[in-house]
Structure 1
Amino acid sequence: GSRMTAEGVLVLTARRHRTQLANRADALARLAALLERAHDRPARRIDTRPSRAARQRRIDAKAARGRIKAMRGRPAVE
């Protein structure tokens, strides 16, 4: 969940080490990394379109699926 309290205080816990001093240093290092990550904006995603071959594969797969489903019914009596 969230690391923010209702008052807006950021809470980090560190229990990796045996001593409080080492855990405090670990928490501060993690806080620095968290702030560093929050500072950088994520790279903007560039919209892409399916290639013509990918579109054709999709249509072919849909047609094949349709043929499979068409075979499910009872055979026609002639």
Structure 2
Amino acid sequence: HQEMTDLVEQIEATADENELKRLMGMIAQKVIDHVRFEERMLFPQIEKSFSTPALEKIEKDLKEAHVPGCVVWEPKFWEKK
């Protein structure tokens, strides 16, 4: 998360279009890498580590706790003009 925060700060500080594209590309790649890690490593390990009833309980709890949209994080960096 700190890497993403640092990249956003760099984006906010740059006026160079090429640098902006490079930084946005870095953010996109980090998100892709993170998702792939979860899909290929984390989730399979979780599925192996927990029983079916435990996984079903986790699923139920996550569905109950889910809030559509992000109510905690304010997307300020793209709202600035």
Pick the TM interval, shorter chain.
0.3 to 0.5
Give the alignment's TM-score, normalised by structure 2.
0.34
Higher relative contact order (CA 8 A, sep 6+): 2
Larger Rg: 1
Q: Say which structure is richer in helix.
A: 2
